[in-house]
Amino acid sequence: MKNIKLYTGLLAIALISLSSCKNDLDVLAPGEETVSVYAVLNPNESVQNVRINKVYLTDGDALTAAQDVNQINYDTAELRVSLQRFLVGGTTPTLTTVGNSSKKEIVLTGTVVTTASGGFNTNQTIWQTTDKLYNSGEYKLIIFNKKTGKEFTSQNVIIDSVKPNANKPFIYHPTLYPTHGNYVTTGSFPTAQTGYIDYSILTGTQKIRFTSIANAKLYDVVLRFHYIDSLIAGGTNNGYVDFKFTTQKSSTLAGGEPMEVTFSPNDFYVNLGLQMSKKTTVGIKNRRSFYLEYVIRAGAESLNTFLQVNQPSNTIAQDKPNYSNIKGGVGIFSTSSRSIITHDMWNDFIDKIACHPSTYPYLFCKSDGVVAPGPCN
């Protein structure tokens, strides 16, 4: 039976790569060691995860082998996984952890997690750290197999997060454009109407504008609508619905490039209604519109290349390029960032959510706390 090369560990983006099994070449010689890595560092996250799996040849059923936890996972004591940080262009390790004035290496801790069922065993080993990463410089991943002495490395620039700007809604000012939880509704100087978000007028085009950041290529924008369910039995539950936009790509890596996504206000209501139709109204007395959250995630150029090259093919072609930046292994070590701005909604907007034909069936209250008596135009 022909050898089958099975790459594991890239389930985070559902990537399973099987070789074309040419008769004249074994692309991985029996006994040769390599690894599959998936790691995207994000300085805005409290936990960093690095997923490392074995890459191997099997003479049997590759999918059966993928269910064998011992064939796909390293023991946590088998590998030493660490991060070093360098200033861009530098060769001497520098400080790795925000708040620690002497630490120059982060050693990650191995742990076993349970993943969703699929082609691979649901018990997967990952390596984690809770160290707070810097948002500048370059981080180097070092994977050392203590049994074999083999080392695998990769290095990538860290990227900062997108900053608020002068364009509503991705804007912040403590009094003029406050964040959710900081709006003033009483007293002599309440927050002005212009500080709220209002998509109650269905004509025209709404824009979410932002500026690109250095070394980032990909930008995913999400408009997240938060709401509160009031239960017939008493109490409340919080929920949210995402309005997602097409991934944007900057033309250069220099940063400072004006970027935007656009939408019609009516599309917001249609999307909200579609997503709410998937949720139950059983036991729900009514729902209250809460606030909006604008999320912009940025990804480094290496992540863009990896996703682009390794995306599923829509042709029958067997030979296609592969991209990996893991020295001695396969997979991706890259960086991303996340930026969030929250704003409250103006009363007219809340009223429109309650009565819009797409959202009216889902028991949203008007700004006065009463469910709309019927749909509106």
In this prediction, residue 291 has a pLDDT band, given cuts at 50, 70 and 90, of very high
pLDDT in the model for residue 123 = 81
pLDDT over threshold 50, residue 44: yes
- The mean pLDDT of 129-156, rounded to a whole number, is 97
- CB proximity list for 336: less than 8 A, separation 6 or greater: 40, 41, 42, 159, 297, 298, 299, 300, 303
Would you state the structure tokens that stand for residue 299, as one six-digit string?
């990804």
Mapped onto helix, strand or coil, the DSSP state of residue 110 is strand
Q: Give mean pLDDT, residues 92-101.
A: 97
pLDDT tens for residues 331-377? 999 999 999 999 999 999 999 999 999 999 999 999 999 999 999 97
Q: What is the pLDDT of residue 91?
A: 94
- 16 pLDDT above the threshold of 50: no
Asked if residue 108 has pLDDT above 80, the reply is yes
DSSP lists the bridge partners of residue 56 as 6
The pLDDT-based confidence of 311 (bands split at 50, 70, 90) is confident
Name the more confident of 276 and 307: 276
Instruction: Give the containing element (helix H, strand E) for 63.
Output: helix 62-66
- For 206-253, how does the pLDDT look when each residue is reduced to its tens digit (9 = 90+)? 999 999 999 999 999 999 999 999 999 999 999 999 999 999 999 999
pLDDT at 262 over 90: yes
pLDDT of 17 reads: 29
The pLDDT value recorded for residue 310 is 75
- Answer whether residue 12 shows pLDDT above 50: no
Looking only at the bridges linking them, the beta strands covering 258-263 and 206-211 are: antiparallel
CA distance 152 to 328: 5
Instruction: Report how far residue 377's alpha carbon sits from residue 363's, in angstroms, rounded to the nearest whole number.
Output: 17
Q: What is the mean pLDDT of residues 307-322?
A: 67
Q: Which domains does the chain have, with CATH numbers?
A: 4-158 (2.60.40), 193-298+339-362 (2.60.40)
38, 85 contact by CB (below 8 A): no
Instruction: Note if the bond before 169 is cis, omega within 30 degrees.
Output: yes
Q: What is the pLDDT of residue 160?
A: 96
pLDDT category, 307, cuts 50, 70, 90? Answer: confident
CB atoms within 10 A of CB 347: 15
